[in-house]
Amino acid sequence: MLVLTRRAGESVMIGDTIVITVLEARGDVIRIGIQAPRDVQVHREEVYKELQDANREAASPNEDAVRALTEMLDPRKP
């Protein structure tokens, strides 16, 4: 992990297209601004983890769905 010290108004570049700027620092709360291309997804970590969990759950069918699909694909059924 790279650890940097920045003051309000100072920025960090990630690659050629992503700029992270410290907007404000008050005590233990820091406000940052992120400029990134539209095709780069930017999420808070907790939101990203929720999205990952939801995607994982959606991609994992429950037993009833597997059973129903198996019955539909059974070549012995008319």
| 19-61 pLDDT, tens digit each | 999 999 999 999 999 999 999 999 999 999 999 999 988 888 7
* Burial (CB count <10 Å: 0-12, 13-18, 19+), residue 24: exposed
pLDDT at 18: 98
DSSP 35: E
Select the more confidently predicted residue: 17 or 62: 17
CA distance 50 to 7: 31
Confidence (pTM): 0.67
Could you tell me if 8 and 22 are in contact, meaning their C-beta atoms sit under 8 angstroms apart? yes
Domain extents in the chain: 1-39, 43-78
The total number of residues shown for the chain amounts to: 78
Residues 6 or more apart whose Cβ sits within 8 Å of residue 15 = none
pLDDT at 49: 96
